[in-house]
Amino acid sequence: MSERPVGDGAPGATVHGCALRLGAHGVLICGRSGAGKSLLTLALLDRESDAALVADDRVRLEVHDRRLRAVRVESLAGLVELRGHGLIRLPSEPAVDLSLVVDLVAAAGVPRMPEADEARVVLAGIVLPRLRLPAMDAGMDLAAAVLAVRLVLRHPVVEDPLPPPATRSGA
């Protein structure tokens, strides 16, 4: 499990990323500049009927009642970069409790079957499920990325798919 520093460790530190609410789930999308964070955020907002933008580009992270909350930076409220067009303004919500971190990384950084500790990340001392997907310039398939996020939110990782040998049928 990787421990990721949050800003300088000060309360209300910000991270470079996007945050949105999908139904009852908060999602933080991280990656370097140009990785496709805003595009994936816009695609998820477009495809989900119960979704809302929280923040694009800068996200403040705060711990409340042992939950990690993504909070918009008020000076950027509702602003989203649409690459090739510029900034657009969308309705946004002030905050969401996070359920998932999506990391957009180089294709080589996406394991086919991640180890249990690779499927989680620690942010500000809080453990969250983590999904690594290829960044836009690493061959991101936008429809597949949207599907992956939706599936991870609905179906938890199976830690041990096979029962112990003594309980398997025929053993």
List, for residues 117-170, the tens digit of each pLDDT value.
888 999 888 999 999 999 987 566 888 888 889 888 888 766 665 666 665 555
pLDDT in the model for residue 163: 62
The tokens of 90 are what?
A: 């969308």
* pLDDT band at residue 12 using 50, 70 and 90 as cut-offs: confident
**Are the CB atoms for 36 and 28 separated by under 8 Å?**
no
The tokens of 113 are what?
A: 């079957």
pLDDT in the model for residue 9: 47
CB neighbour class for 86 (10 Å; exposed up to 12, middle 13-18, buried from 19): exposed
The tokens of 141 are what?
A: 């398939």
Four-CA torsion 81, 83, 86, 90, nearest 10 degrees: -40
More confident of the two residues 27 and 162: 27
Report the candidate in 131, 103, 106 with the shortest Cα–Cα distance to residue 119. 131
**Are the CB atoms for 31 and 104 separated by under 8 Å?**
yes
**Are the CB atoms for 54 and 92 separated by under 8 Å?**
yes
- Distance between CA atoms of 47 and 147, rounded to whole angstroms? 10
* pLDDT band at residue 1 using 50, 70 and 90 as cut-offs: low
Q: What are phi and psi of 117, to 5 degrees?
A: -75, -20
- Distance between CA atoms of 171 and 154, rounded to whole angstroms? 33
Residue pLDDT, tens place only, 32-79: 998 999 999 999 999 989 999 999 999 999 999 999 999 999 999 999
Cα–Cα distance list, 24 to 27, 125, 151, 156 (Å)? 10, 22, 14, 15
pLDDT in the model for residue 169: 56
pLDDT in the model for residue 118: 85
pLDDT in the model for residue 154: 86
Q: What are phi and psi of 16, to 5 degrees?
A: -85, 110
Four-CA torsion 79, 13, 48, 129, nearest 10 degrees: 160
pLDDT in the model for residue 114: 83
**Domains (range + CATH), the chain:** 10-154 (3.40.50.300)
